């Protein structure tokens, strides 16, 4: 389908609006909408938080949209949830055309495009679809795979070392990189670490370096229920390899055959709680387990120009591959400099 440069410009604006809900929409998708007539924007809006008005409704507020075009980053919903279907508002506005960046794969929201077309509104989709998908990787993962989008953050030296031999890792990177890491924390629905990191660093796992209206859920993998009662990560959701209780924590027992935590089942449990994006900040053992079990979608690597040597801990506890071709291969998504550090975003090929 051929779209004009005007269509692309309007959708770029809709994506900009959608990004304003980066920290607030969970578990809903980030959605923006622009209403335009004769090349001029007459209304715009974005979804701010679950339970609030959707982007299309906000964009139509106080606007005579008869004969206009609506550009929306995700196909308008066609179901009753906390709010009525957006399709109802679009049909009532007597729009001539609705363009979506992408279809909505969520089973309970599908059919919006067909209903618009049946109501006499021209429906098209596919303009700047990749941008819309990138904005909602977590939501799309949860509704299509029943698991969050898992982003593993690792701060390391140039020789791939993440901590001293005793586990201490604060601080490998500089202030600018750490601040950037908090922005990635803020966009996540939950932050995951392991009991080893809790014992070594006693992290808070909170967003502190950037303004955010909410704090992500704190999650700890603690197979043997060894959480110190005064750990700063508490209160938290704890996944264990056995039944039990901890002070100031909700414990979910998901044992695997070895008595440790069944990590794929843990991801399903988090998806069932509405977690779209899971941000991992753990040690090399849990990192390795997550990678070995196919649980990681993306690596967020901060590389500092320094060396710690062979006695220090590495990034991932992985077995040596049988050949170079058998190594874990990544595709670079972006590479940026933050002060003296490099930020690499990469995904398994």
pLDDT tens profile 170-222:
788 999 999 999 999 999 999 999 999 999 889 999 999 899 999 999 999 99
Residue carrying the six token digits 């005064």: 230
**Is 75 a known active-site residue?**
no
8 Å CB contact between 287 and 152 = yes
- Compute the average pLDDT of residues 293-322: 90
CA–CA dist 148, 119 (Å, integer) = 35
| pLDDT-based confidence at residue 1 (cuts at 50, 70, 90) | low
CA–CA dist 276, 188 (Å, integer) = 7
123-170 residue pLDDT tens: 999 999 999 999 999 999 999 999 999 999 999 998 889 877 776 667
pTM of the model: 0.93
Beta bridge partners of 123: 98
**How many C-beta atoms lie closer than 10 Å to residue 210's C-beta?**
15
Domain boundaries, the chain: 5-135, 139-348
Q: What average pLDDT is seen over the chain?
A: 93
Q: Which two tokens stand for residue 160?
A: 């791939």
* Catalytic-labelled residue, pool 48, 56, 75, 298: 56
* Superfamily per CATH, domain 5-135: Cytidine Deaminase, domain 2 (3.40.140.10)
Q: Is 111 a residue whose pLDDT tops 90?
A: no
Residue carrying the six token digits 């060894």: 226
Beta bridge partners of 257: none
The string over 108-117, giving b where at least 16 C-beta atoms fall within 10 Å of a residue's C-beta and e elsewhere, is: ebebbbebbe
Q: Is 245 a residue whose pLDDT tops 90?
A: yes
Identify the pLDDT of residue 168.
Answer: 67
Write the CA distances from 139 to 26, 202, 214, 247, 262, integer angstroms. 8, 30, 18, 32, 22
| pLDDT-based confidence at residue 297 (cuts at 50, 70, 90) | very high
8 Å CB contact between 275 and 192 = no
E-state strands within the chain = 32-37, 40-46, 69-72, 97-100, 122-125, 149-157, 161-163, 190-194, 217-221, 236-240, 249-253, 277-280, 298-304, 313-314, 330-338, 341-348
Q: For the sheet with 122-125, list strands across it.
A: 40-46, 32-37, 69-72, 97-100, 122-125
- The CATH class that applies to domain 139-348 reads alpha beta
């Amino acid at each position: 389908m051929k779209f004009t440069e005007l269509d692309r410009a309007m959708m770029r604006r809709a994506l900009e609006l959608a990004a304003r809900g980066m920290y607030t929409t969970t578990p809903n998708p980030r959605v923006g909408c622009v209403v335009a007539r004769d090349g001029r924007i007459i209304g715009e809006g974005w979804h701010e938080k679950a339970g609030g008005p959707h982007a299309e409704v906000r964009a139509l507020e106080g606007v005579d949209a008869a004969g206009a075009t609506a550009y929306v980053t995700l196909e308008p919903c066609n179901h009753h949830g906390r709010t009525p279907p957006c399709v109802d508002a679009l049909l009532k506005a007597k729009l001539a055309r609705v363009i979506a960046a992408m279809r909505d794969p969520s089973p309970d929201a599908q059919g919006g495009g067909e209903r618009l077309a049946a109501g006499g509104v021209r429906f098209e989709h596919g303009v700047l679809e990749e941008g819309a998908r990138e904005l909602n990787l977590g939501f799309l993962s949860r509704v299509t795979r029943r698991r969050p989008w898992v982003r593993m953050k690792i701060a390391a030296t140039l020789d791939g070392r993440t901590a001293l031999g005793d586990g201490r890792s604060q601080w490998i990177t500089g202030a600018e990189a750490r601040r950037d890491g908090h922005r990635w924390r803020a966009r996540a629905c939950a932050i995951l670490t392991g009991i080893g990191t809790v014992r070594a660093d006693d992290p808070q796992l909170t967003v502190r370096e950037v303004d955010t209206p909410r704090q992500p859920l704190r999650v700890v993998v603690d197979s043997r229920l060894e959480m110190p009662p005064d750990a700063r990560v508490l209160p938290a959701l704890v996944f264990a390899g056995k039944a039990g209780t901890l002070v100031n924590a909700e414990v979910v027992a998901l044992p695997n055959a070895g008595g440790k935590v069944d990590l794929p089942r843990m991801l399903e449990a988090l998806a069932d709680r509405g977690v779209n994006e899971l941000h991992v900040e753990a040690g090399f053992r849990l990192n390795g387990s997550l990678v070995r079990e196919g649980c990681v979608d993306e690596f967020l690597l901060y590389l500092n120009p320094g060396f710690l040597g062979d006695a220090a801990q590495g990034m991932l506890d992985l077995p040596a591959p049988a050949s170079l071709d058998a190594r874990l291969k990544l595709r670079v998504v972006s590479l940026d400099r933050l002060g003296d550090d490099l930020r690499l975003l990469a995904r398994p090929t």
